Amino acid sequence: MLRLDNVTKVYKVGTFGGKAVTAVDGVSFDVRPGEVVSLIGESGSGKSTIGRMILGLTSVTGGSITVDGVPVKPGKEYYRGVQGVFQDPFSCYNPVFKADRVFRMIKETYYPSVPEPAWAERVRAAVQDVRLNPGEVLGKYPHQLSGGQLQRLLIARALLLDLKLLVADEITSMLDASTRIDVLNLLADLKTRGLGVLYVTHDLSLGNYLAERTVVLRRGQVVERGLTGKVFGDP
Ligand code: ADP
Ligand code: ADP
């Protein structure tokens, strides 16, 4: 479903004669439907750059990224299939959480033409699925919610929009331990619904817990990959 084929990203730093930084260097891997793959690496290894390229937030320098055979490119149609959830759910990468009230945000950005009563019901059901109380969150503005609530809402939105792939970039690092377990369980639910999840993290134990396959990145290159148990040296 998601396929990266020999993907490279070179950042040009500075103008005139500035130097180039190769952040991602010939990376290939895939994520199948209903599968969680973790992308693990130290800070600076290129994980976020890969996540951002998959989401169409930054261009690919070389190689290709496709979802169901279609090359990624920024645009609303594309975002119906793929969504990012980021470490800081308030960050500018979450246009979903611009200014509007939560309900309108979830509903109107993407399906302006669907009649409201039908949507209201679906939105409430999805919010309940992520174990939030619709009455409590839907009338609020994003900044009135906690980081954990916002991340759950992004997952609710993924459920509503029939997404194919969720890119989760260090999403649990800001959460307390019990919320973290809840969010990880939600990701596990997503895969039972056939979504693919790319779980980006620097934290070995969390990726281990969630993913059947793991890709290890070092200085922009894949240095190890395979079944998570094997990568971490289980017998
Ligand atoms: P990670 O997510 O694993 O911490 P990043 O993808 O953020 O890694 O960064 C990989 C490399 O690319 C690092 O050397 C980083 O400094 C560089 N880099 C990331 N973003 C930019 C950018 N916008 N401009 C220039 N260099 C960048
Ligand atoms: P505009 O406000 O110009 O209509 P969007 O709201 O569609 O644009 O997107 C704003 C920014 O967020 C763009 O950089 C876009 O690539 C990015 N983006 C849009 N949708 C998503 C999404 N679901 N996940 C991650 N990034 C997104």
Concatenating the DSSP letter of every residue in 6-67 gives EEEEEEEPSSTTPPEEEEEEEEEEEE-TT-EEEEEE-TTSSHHHHHHHHTTSS--SEEEEEE
Residue having the nearest C-alpha atom to atom 26 of ligand 2: 93
Q: How much is the mean pLDDT over the chain?
A: 80
The model scores a pTM over 0.90: no
Ligand 1 atom showing the smallest separation from residue 41 Cα:
3
Residue 214: is its pLDDT beyond 90?
Answer: yes
Residue 52 Cβ < 6 Å to ligand 1: no
Report which of residues 78 and 212 the model is more confident about. Answer: 212
Q: Which of 55, 153, 157, 160, when mutated, tests ligand 2's pocket best, judged by the most ligand atoms within 8 Å of its CB?
A: 55
Residue having the nearest C-alpha atom to atom 23 of ligand 2: 83
Alpha carbon 62 to chain centroid, angstroms = 22
Q: How far apart, in Å, are the Cα atoms of 166 and each of 81, 171, 199, 234?
A: 9, 11, 8, 27
pLDDT band at 160 (very low <50, low <70, confident <90, very high): confident
Report which of residues 206 and 149 the model is more confident about. Answer: 149
* pLDDT for residue 143: 77
Distance 14 CA to ligand 1 centre (A): 14
Ligand 2 atom showing the smallest separation from residue 98 Cα:
6
Distance 22 CA to ligand 2 centre (A): 25
Give backbone dihedrals phi and psi of 79, rounded to 5 degrees, phi first: -70, -10
Residue 56: is its pLDDT beyond 80?
Answer: yes
Report which of residues 19 and 142 the model is more confident about. Answer: 19
* pLDDT for residue 63: 96
Q: For the segment 128-142, what is each residue's pLDDT rounded down to a tens digit? A: 888 889 888 888 877
Residue 51 Cβ < 6 Å to ligand 1: no
Residue 201, classed as helix, strand or coil, is: strand
Least confident of 38-47, 113-122, 149-158: 113-122
